[in-house]
Amino acid sequence: MITVAADHLERTRAYLAAAAADALLVARPENRRYVTGFTGSAGLVAVTPSEALLAVDFRYYEQAESQAPACRVIRGGADPAKALADAVKTLGPARIGFESEFLPYAQVERLRERFAPAELVPLADVDRIRWVKDDAEVAAIARAGEIADAAFERLLEVLRPGMSERDAALELEIAIRRAGGERLAFDTVLASGPRGALPHGRATDRVMERGEFVTVDFGAVFDGYVSDCTRTVALGTADARQREVYDLVLAAQRRALEAVRPGVACRDVDAAGRAVIASAGFAEAFGHAMGHGIGLDVHEGPPVSPRSDAVLEPGMVVTIEPGIYLPGWGGVRIEDAVVVADGAPRILTRLSKDLILLAS
């Protein structure tokens, strides 16, 4: 298991200082794990310039003390939030920030009552503390990718015309588990034939046929960190139209990957790949972002989209995933996870991107 680096807390405190707050409440599970190392399903954290406090209920006392050695663990009984508030009040904070993009209104109101007279202030983009990964995080993401790669290669051994999408997705899930994955990173997207026009098409009982494309978007979890990869393969044969669309998506991905460099705006990476698709007349057939960050969550920052104001930094891990989706015909998507580095990005996915024709 990854040991939480000291700089995770320091990043959090730097964010706290920039927000001009005296403490930060952390409730989102991914942020809580990042800051403390605690993997339980419930708990509330308060980070101050000098302390980190983790309040949990009876189920997690022992686990919290083992996993979060940098924290003062608060035994919260039936109301961990109140126990945390009582402990924080002794530190005298006047302004306490909370994750405005995560906590629901009713919960914020309850927290305001508990932490009064301190002022609770909404803070945006708390997740940014997780955008740049350290070496251990990158290694965990890479290992998750290796597990998923091996599972996909196993799927290719059995994927054939006459098989249902649902059975194929099950084969992939079993292979991920057997290869060492903790679980799926997300519900597998597996869409064949005309259903390939659905970017997030989940597997159905549809029976796949010879000559169809099958798009598979999948990922594994290792030590809490996720992988994310998409490949599109052909069952038996591929006609000229299929090859044209496939080659175009691959060219767009390569152009976007060439743009992935430190200091480059994410919107410019998106634009580089999107221009390839648009110039071929398929602008309306590519309606989602070029990619997104991955880490403890499968969709985190930075967003690689036309609307993103983020700038790439060394250590960020992002996906690059252009696609073309044509209703009634199908679709193609190709996705890899990459680490932003000085010079060319490091591609974590090892699977081939040549068009694979599976024997029928």
Same domain for 187 and 260, yes or no, is yes
Residue type, 62: E
Amino acid at 227: S
Q: What pLDDT sits at residue 323?
A: 98
- What band does 210 get if pLDDT is binned at 50, 70 and 90? very high
β pairing state of 23-26 and 44-47: antiparallel
Task: Check which CATH number belongs to the domain holding 11 and give it.
Answer: 3.40.350.10
- Are 152 and 108 part of one and the same domain? no
Same domain for 122 and 144, yes or no, is: no
Residues 63 and 188 in one domain: no
Q: Give the Å distances, CA to CA, from 249 to 189, 235, 347.
A: 18, 18, 17
Number of structural domains (the chain) is 2
Show which of 129, 157, 172 is a domain's final residue.
Answer: 129
The confidence band for 317, taking pLDDT boundaries of 50, 70 and 90, is very high
Query: 249 with 304, same domain?
Result: yes
pLDDT at 1 over 70: no
Residue/partner pairs of 68-73 with CB below 8 Å, 24 or more apart: 68/4, 68/36, 68/37, 68/38, 69/37, 70/4, 70/6, 70/9, 70/36, 70/37, 71/36, 71/38, 71/45
Boundary residue ending a domain (86, 113, 129): 129
Average pLDDT in the chain: 96
Give the residue from 100, 129, 158 where a domain finishes.
Answer: 129
pLDDT for residue 4 is more than 70? no
pLDDT tens digit sequence for 149-196: 999 999 999 999 999 999 999 999 999 999 999 999 999 999 999 999
* Residues 315 and 324 sit within 8 Å (Cβ to Cβ): no
Query: 237 and 345, same structural domain?
Result: yes
Same domain, 221 and 237: yes
pTM for this prediction: 0.95
Whether residues 354 and 241 fall in one domain = yes
The parent domain of residue 64 ranges over 6-129
Q: Verify that 72 and 162 share a domain, yes or no.
A: no
Q: Tens digit of pLDDT for each residue in 265-312?
A: 999 999 999 999 999 999 999 999 999 999 999 999 999 999 999 999
Is the same domain home to 79 and 196? Answer: no
Same domain for 267 and 208: yes
